[in-house]
Chain A
């Protein structure tokens, strides 16, 4: 452990923690505004969508295997399969497609 680097890491960890902790701990009220409630209802799905697209297409290093994996995930998710089943199946299919000569 080099001391300078340890200081960087401490600052980094502390900043990250405070950004997470302060609003999460200080915010106590139940939000009553209908607009705010609606906003908070939609935000988790919007965050996930923004993180997933288009990043999922580049998640395997091959557009083809990622697209097939995405399709498999969407079909299984549509039929309500569990998170772990969907992610393992998508990954396994992407793995198989990776062996195709044109993949």
Chain B
């Protein structure tokens, strides 16, 4: 079969390095926050090792500390993490034939915004080995950063820690910019999503929209608009099939 991915475990590992480094600094902050809210370091670590999601975890700690109901916990996590369902469906279109159900059960655990974005924007479909490679360093970074943050609080000097905050976003820029040069549709989708996201962040009458919802609303609107204005051609489809 030609429908197998050209990417190997090591390719995934390499692509996952910037994500892992970014997660290290983000989860460092989560570790500090969680312990500051009254959790023990082991509890903070277990949250990171079993959840692997920043916004959801911060909200989860809030529910725990406020002694909220189990229903509240379920609803909070469901709403904040709903975008992973959308990403999961999107990614199923970019998988090679080796992604069987047992693999998908394991792979779905590592479906984060960044891992999804990298995997979904690869030119060829991805397989389980690449995806596991891609998951490895972010997982270690996420758990390790939480542990360091929870245990030590201030291991890195402030100046380095704050500068590390931009890494993850710079990586996003590196993913979206090259296709923007070649594909007007991608250019449009990026501009619309960025403008909407800024509108939600800066316009007072939109400020009730939470960050998690803002991402999903802005992205869906931008993708729908561009899918109507600039549907991908059958030629592009055929080419993609050929590559696969």
| B 158-177 contacts with A by CB, 8 A | 159-160, 162-177
Contact of A8 with B63 in the complex, beta carbons under 8 Å: yes
CA A40 to CA B86, docked complex, whole Å: 9
Q: Can you name 8 A-B residue pairings with CB atoms under 8 Å?
A: A13-B51, A19-B84, A23-B85, A24-B91, A47-B219, A49-B191, A59-B169, A95-B160
B228 located at the interface, meaning its Cβ lies under 8 Å from any Cβ of chain A in the complex: yes
**Consensus secondary structure, chain B interface:** helix
Contact of B223 with A43 in the complex, beta carbons under 8 Å: yes
B150 located at the interface, meaning its Cβ lies under 8 Å from any Cβ of chain A in the complex: no
Residues of B within 8 A of A19 (CB): 77-78, 81-82, 84-85
Contact of B174 with A87 in the complex, beta carbons under 8 Å: yes
Residues of A within 8 A of B63 (CB): 8
B64 located at the interface, meaning its Cβ lies under 8 Å from any Cβ of chain A in the complex: yes
Contact of A24 with B92 in the complex, beta carbons under 8 Å: yes
Contact of B201 with A54 in the complex, beta carbons under 8 Å: yes
The A/B interface has a contact count, at CB < 8 Å, of: 305
CA A6 to CA B105, docked complex, whole Å: 23
| A 16-47 contacts with B by CB, 8 A | 16-17, 19-25, 27-28, 30-31, 34-47
Chain B residue at minimal CB-CB distance from A36: B227
Given contacts A87-B18, A94-B163, 14 further A-B contacts (CB under 8 A): A2-B43, A12-B47, A16-B56, A16-B77, A28-B92, A34-B234, A41-B232, A44-B116, A44-B117, A49-B194, A51-B172, A52-B176, A86-B170, A89-B170
CA A47 to CA B175, docked complex, whole Å: 12
Residues of B within 8 A of A87 (CB): 18, 21-22, 166-168, 170-171, 174
**Consensus secondary structure, chain A interface:** helix
Residues of B within 8 A of A47 (CB): 83, 87, 113, 116-117, 193, 215, 219
Contact of B164 with A91 in the complex, beta carbons under 8 Å: yes
Chain B residue at minimal CB-CB distance from A85: B174
The interface of chain A, by Cβ under 8 A from chain B, is: 1-2, 5-13, 15-17, 19-25, 27-28, 30-31, 34-56, 59-62, 65-66, 69-70, 72-74, 76-78, 80-84, 86-92, 94-95, 98-99
The interface of chain B, by Cβ under 8 A from chain A, is: 14-15, 17-18, 21-22, 39-40, 42-43, 46-47, 50-53, 56-57, 60, 63-64, 70, 73-74, 77-78, 81-93, 101, 104-105, 107-109, 111, 113, 116-118, 120-121, 159-160, 162-181, 185-186, 189-194, 196-198, 201-202, 214-215, 218-220, 222-224, 226-228, 230-232, 234, 237
The 7 A-B residue pairs with the shortest CB-CB distance, nearest first, are: A24-B88, A90-B170, A95-B163, A38-B227, A13-B50, A56-B169, A86-B174
With A27-B89, A45-B186, A77-B173 in contact, is A1–B166 under 8 Å at CB?
Answer: no
Contact of A73 with B219 in the complex, beta carbons under 8 Å: no
CA A34 to CA B202, docked complex, whole Å: 35
